[in-house]
Amino acid sequence: MSSLTVSSVYKKRKSYTWLYFLLPSIAIMLVFFIYPILLTFFYSFTNLALTGEAAKELKFVGFDNYVRMFHDPTVRVSIWNTLIFLIGSAVIGQQVLGFIIALLMKHKNRLFRRIIGTIVLAGWVTPEIVCALCLYSFFGDEGTLNAILSFVGISDVTWLYTVPMLTIILANIWHGTAFSMLVFQAALDDVPTEIEEAAVVDGASRLQILFRITIPYIKDTILTNMMLVTLQTLGVFGLIYAMTGGGPGTSTTTLPIFMYNQAFVNYQLGYGTAISLLLLLLGIVLSLFYIRSMKEQ
């Protein structure tokens, strides 16, 4: 009886009231989110420029920017650099290191966990630009690393110029590992100890437990984390710009840096927006790949 009235009330209310509640957020989304995206999309088909004749009148140039992109060798270099940076610093660096730290900290003394956790978190809470300056002065010609190495007799190495990609990868690992560590800590805490104990009773080695039980158990978390870290890393700009400026040459020019250079150094805003859409596409492709593999398990 009572259930019937509840459902009828529910049915009556099922008009469009929900829409009114959603309207403010939809409006905000449209203005600050959908509109800029559409605008970016539109500008990528124009000759929008910061200065020069093109800045005076906006012209529709069709697929010119995209054609130019396919013929531009620097685009290929930038995509390549972006992928190396992504795999090196996000997929391998932050994920693996974060996982290892989280794993090693499991079941450890609380004080120990707290101290180590705080140290790792320091990198995460440091603003990107401060982090870049810290690591710049660490890797710089007269930096900390060279000062330390001089004690063991290794003379000055110009880290930022001989191995620029490695320095920015290490910088991003230093900056971002804490995030993965936190995610994995939470996930590992959820792995039931009973299963692990049962495995021990069955005579499984620690490595077997890790690869047969722990990792499969948190696979979803790994993929979600992978996706989040990937998206964060794709957008990294300040860190690289401040440390190497994309150089020397184009050796650390990732897509965001290349986009900035085209838009604000070469004054070609239209071309810059086209590159930003390429970046977006790359992110979508990578993420769909992760989602797919999440689904397939």
Contact footprint for another protein (CB under 8 A): 33, 36-37, 49-56, 68, 71-73, 129, 140-141, 158, 160-161, 227, 231-232, 234-238, 241, 245, 247-251, 256, 259-260, 263-268, 276, 279-280, 283-284, 287-288, 291, 295
Q: Which is nearer to another protein, 24 or 73 (by Cβ)?
A: 73
Q: In whole angstroms, how close is the CB of 135 to another protein at the nearest point?
A: 15
* Neighbouring C-beta atoms of residue 264, cutoff 10 Å: 12
The one-letter amino acid code at 197 reads E
* Closer residue to another protein, CB minimum distance, 176 or 256: 256
Minimum separation from the CB atom of position 227 to another protein (A): 7
- Provide, rounded to whole angstroms, the least separation between the CB of residue 136 and another protein: 10
Query: Between 164 and 188, whose beta carbon lies closer to another protein?
Result: 164
* Structure-block tokens of residue 145: 């690393």
Q: How far is CA 164 from CA 112, 139, 158, 171, 187, in A?
A: 34, 10, 9, 11, 34
Neighbours of 164 (CB within 10 A): 23
Do residues 247 and 235 touch, judged by C-beta distance below 8 A?
no
Q: Which is nearer to another protein, 55 or 147 (CB)?
A: 55
Smallest Cα–Cα separation from 244: which of 256, 234, 227? 256
Considering the complex, what minimum distance in angstroms separates the CB of residue 122 from another protein? 22
**At its nearest, how many Å lie between another protein and the CB of residue 56?**
5
Min separation Cβ 37 and another protein, Å: 6
Q: How far is the CB of 88 from another protein (least distance, A)?
A: 19
Q: Please give the C-alpha separations between residue 247 and each of 24, 235, 269, in angstroms, as whole numbers.
A: 45, 18, 21
Going by C-beta distance under 8 Å and a sequence separation of 6 or more, which residues neighbour residue 86? Answer: 230, 233, 234, 286
Which C-beta is closer to another protein: that of 188 or that of 241? 241
Query: Which among 296, 289, 266, 270 is positioned nearest to 86, based on CA atoms?
Result: 289
Would you say 8 or 158 has its CB closer to another protein?
158
Q: Which residues, in sequence order, are bridge partners of residue 60? A: 46
3-state secondary structure of 293: helix
Angle at 187 between CA 185 and CA 192, to 5 degrees: 110
**Closer Cβ to another protein, 36 or 192, answer by number:** 36
